[in-house]
Amino acid sequence: MAGSGAHAAGHAICLPLFEFDHRMISTLSLKVLQRMHDRTVAGMVAEVAAKSVGDRTVRNWLSKSTTPYPVVLEQVRLQGLEILRENLKSKDWPAAERDAYVAGLDATPGFVSGTVFSLQSACDQYPATVHLAGQIDLLEQALAVHRQAGDVRSAAQAVLDSEWLRDEHLAIPQDGISADEMRRQLREAVSWEGLDAPGRVLVLNLQFQLLATLDLEFCAAHLPGLEPAPVFASLLPRFNPRVDLEGKTSVPTTRDLYHYPTRRLLDAIACLRVACKSPVRKWPTAVPRVAAMARWLDIAGQDKLASNLSKWRSGRTITAERFQHLWDACFGFIKESVRPPAPIPMLYAATVFTELFISGSMAERNMSFIAPDREIYLGWWERQRFALLAGSEPVTAGTMQWMPGLG
């Protein structure tokens, strides 16, 4: 269901509100990275490339006003890797681990796989996710070549000929979208507009497949006591389940109607804190009230964090830096040397869901809010779980259930 201001469209299409682009997932990853760090890519690249080029030059590259020389790009790449190596050194990473991490990032074939690789706190935690992201990078790069050549038919055929893409990538049964129909549109497409519908379906399914794989590997690495559970599904945007919207063509101006991914992320962190403080590692019977988290942050001397809770719960972006501070404040009762790292992949998933399904704002009365059908994500999570269990290094799991109250 999509809402615009105080109005809503009928419940049906789960597809996000974007026009298909041949590098859609790369573009999405770029927007997510900018949200997470509250900085433009031009600024980040310019900082890395400061010894070689300036901010304006980088902006011209990104706008395609100018084309960088290969030798300059190579200089920027090497400078970026050196900055990363020094950053890891400042965090007391052993030399061997620093070298392995930098080499692994350098070996990724594109932006999507590089972004996923950077979410790790070690270089080998998410191998299946990085591999899938690499396949997406290579597909998008092939589509980019065909788009530059203006060759619609070759672009469509590249999708049809990709052996690793299955019927599930071109179908959304919940919306009555079948793989047969999407393949027919790909076979008959003679314009870029003809690729729009199957492209949007493909992008949504690939993004969910990527997140589902990361979900499984993240839980195995950071929540090893947990039995297999689709943790990231707890971060999907939804309407307040206590508000009956069935059959409605307009959204009532009910307080607490929109449950944003950022709000759901905060709820998950609050539940994790309660479970960690419990002597028997027991989940709370319900999601803690927001006042409780405000008290935890105040106790830790983080008044500014506490004052931002209502803004974050209302959809304002949480940067990775703020998220780290929030995590450290909430879990300050755990000695720093043994405190688990902040679950950055959860922040990443919440930010992806925000970019996919929410745009505009209530203040401007132009907000579009989509609450996607959870079954789409859960279907991918089940498929990826079986794929990982059948692999050479199946993910491990414990016996503790994920917090049932998160829904």
Tell me the pLDDT of the chain (407 aa) as tens digits: 444 333 333 334 566 656 667 678 888 888 899 899 988 777 777 676 666 677 777 777 666 677 776 777 777 788 888 888 998 999 889 999 999 999 999 999 998 999 999 999 888 899 999 999 999 999 999 999 999 899 999 999 999 999 999 999 999 998 899 999 999 999 999 999 999 999 999 999 999 999 999 999 999 999 988 999 999 999 999 988 878 766 665 666 666 889 999 999 999 999 999 999 999 889 999 999 999 999 998 887 777 888 889 899 989 999 999 999 999 999 999 998 899 999 999 999 999 999 999 988 877 878 888 899 999 999 999 999 999 988 877 777 788 899 988 87
pLDDT in the model for residue 50: 64
Whether residue 235 lies inside any domain: the answer is yes
Number of domains in the chain: 1
Is the torsion defined by CA of 406, 241, 353, 310 positive or negative? negative
The pTM assigned to this predicted structure is: 0.91
Instruction: Quote the CA–CA distance of 52 and 307 in Å, as a whole number.
Output: 41
Beta strands in 255-344 (DSSP E): 258-259
Residue 393's pLDDT is what?
73
Asked if the structure places residue 394 within a domain, the reply is no
Q: Is residue 2 within a helix (H) or strand (E), and if so which, with residue range? A: strand 2-4
Quote the domain boundaries for residue 290. 225-374
**343 within a domain of the structure (yes/no):** yes
Using an 8 Å Cβ cutoff, are 205 and 170 in contact? yes
Residue 216, domain member (yes or no):
no
**b/e per residue 7-35 (b: at least 16 CB within 10 A):** ebeeeebbbbebebbbbbbbbbbbbbbbb
pLDDT at residue number 337:
87
Determine, yes or no, domain membership for 195: no
Q: Is residue 14 part of a domain?
A: no
- Name the CA dihedral angle for 290, 292, 294, 297, rounded to a multiple of 10 degrees: -140
Q: How many Cα atoms occupy the beta-carbon half-sphere of 115 within 13 Å?
A: 27
- Asked if residue 260 is part of any domain, the answer here is yes
* Neighbour count for residue 135 (Cβ, 10 Å): 18
- Whether 282 is covered by a domain: the verdict is yes
Please give the span between the terminal C-alpha atoms of the chain, in angstroms, as a whole number: 18
